[in-house]
Amino acid sequence: MTYATVAKLQLKDASLLKHQGFIGGQWVDAKDKAVFKVLNPATQEELGAVADMGVEEAKRAIDIAGEAFKTWSKTTGRERHDILLKLYKLMQDNAEDLAMILTAENGKTITEARGENAYSASFVEWFAEEAIRTYGQTIPSAMIGLRNVVVKQPVGVCSLLTPWNFPSAMIGRKLAPALAAGCTAVIKPPSETPYSTLALVELAKRAGVPDGVINVVPTEVHLKDVGKELCENKTVKKISFTGSTPVAKLLMSQAATSLKKVSFEAGGNAPFIVFDDADIEAAVEGAIASKFRASGQTCVCANRIYVHSSVYADFASRLAQKVDGFKIGNGMDKETTHGPLIHEKAIEKVQRHVDDAVSKGASILVGGKRAEGLPGFFYEPTVLADVDPRAQVTDEETFGPVAALIKFETEEEVIRLANDTDVGLAGYFFSRDVGRVWRVAEALQVGMVGANTGMISQPVIPFGGVKESGLGREGGPHGIDEYMNTKFIAFGGL
């Protein structure tokens, strides 16, 4: 194993860098001592090597989580609240180290990494407060001598499968409600970015989360088999996954073998609409925030930017000018505004979308190619004009820094184009007409709408999609319900 580059990170607390799995409160190697390598996408240097665990370790982690559930589920909401608040505090105390780890493994800028860790911690704080408010209900009975009571109970062991684009925040958004509800967890972190998860779990241990309540099974080689075990094992009662739609479908079919509770936050293809009555400067800022956050690697990124023909030229030139001013580079560098993509395949997909759009008549206003002279997986932030509504970029999530501009004429036409997709996670539009704001917000077939804003993500909202973008909601007042069963008790003979 080589830990040379991570050592160069110069963390205040180097013991936050863990390279092993975590089972039953112990840091452990894979049974066969196998490891997988983690690369820094900004340099392609090896960051380190992490234990590559298999089905046997996954089964053990699930059994241990099942045992731990017996006692953790009996703790009071107040006890769980106190432990989660300690974790929240530890995340703040170690914020700079966590940000450096995140930038090193994911590539996002250190400013974005600080923001992501604050976002992640805000879920821990929110769900600490929810732990003491898992209210039930009484329902008046139609029968004499009968009382109806509804209570909420933790579902049991949860499998949490998280993505590389938000290695810290997606753990915060899944693990915090699971623990708050009284559930235990087995986490499969992304093999591209396992270190943020491992650091958070170390902090959770320090915060007093009992042994066995959280378990982590990292893997790269055994991804499919471990994923199957986490979805099919009968002790697991709930699966929460963030990632692509095809993988969500596979996991759902596996979960169906024992009819588990599932929540999936899957792919998006967000429309971003600029109407003729929009505040154009605000729309440009909104497009930049939505499209270029994390270098275009978020599920809620604007993927198709529809601009009314009367404001098209103005919007396109202002957007292109701003994007031209971006500085791509290593996220650790203070000057960098945008980091690399996660790996070579991501670059290839972005290039395929750009080439396809150009072959169908689009012109490149800025960017349009891999960045030269940088060692990592960098693609130039790109603005494409006059994109054909049938181009691949309008149909498939790019997951990269490409703003595809498409002209439209009428509200009816753009709503039809916006909804002409199998997925529906987020949608955005800019308009100052209050009637149109209501009409369009209601007409967009998505789970989340940004009206006159390109930034919707917060811990307090029900995050999730419709159509093939997933099931369930994460965060907000609804988030904890995903980890609880509703039980009805009839009290008779009164």
Which residues would be at the binding site for ligand SIN (CB under 6 A)? 163, 165-166, 169, 242, 265, 298-300, 457
- Pick 43 or 242: Cβ nearer ligand SIN: 242
Give the burial string for 474-491 (b: 16+ CB within 10 Å, else e): bbbeebbbbbbeeeeeee
Shortest Å distance, C-beta 91 to ligand SIN: 17
Shortest Å distance, C-beta 218 to ligand SIN: 20
Shortest Å distance, C-beta 27 to ligand SIN: 28
CA distance 150 to 110: 46
* Tally of CA atoms within 13 A in the half-sphere of 309 that contains its CB: 5
Q: Put residue 209 in one of left, alpha, beta given phi > 0 → left and psi -120 to 50 → alpha.
A: beta
- Pick 23 or 448: Cβ nearer ligand SIN: 448
Residue nearest ligand SIN, CB atom distance:
457
- Pick 169 or 283: Cβ nearer ligand SIN: 169
Do 23 and 217 form a contact (C-beta atoms < 8 A)? yes
Do 215 and 187 form a contact (C-beta atoms < 8 A)? yes
Shortest Å distance, C-beta 126 to ligand SIN: 13
Q: 265, 380, 397, 474: which one is catalytic?
A: 265
Shortest Å distance, C-beta 454 to ligand SIN: 11
- Pick 247 or 300: Cβ nearer ligand SIN: 300
**Which pair of tokens denotes residue 238?**
């709930």
DSSP letters for 303-362: EEEEEETTTHHHHHHHHHHHHHT--BS-TTSTT-SB---SSHHHHHHHHHHHHHHHHTT-
192 flagged as catalytic: no
- Pick 251 or 316: Cβ nearer ligand SIN: 251
Give φ, ψ of 46 to 5 degrees.
Answer: -75, 130
Do 123 and 178 form a contact (C-beta atoms < 8 A)? no
For residue 154, the SS3 value is strand
Active site residues: 265
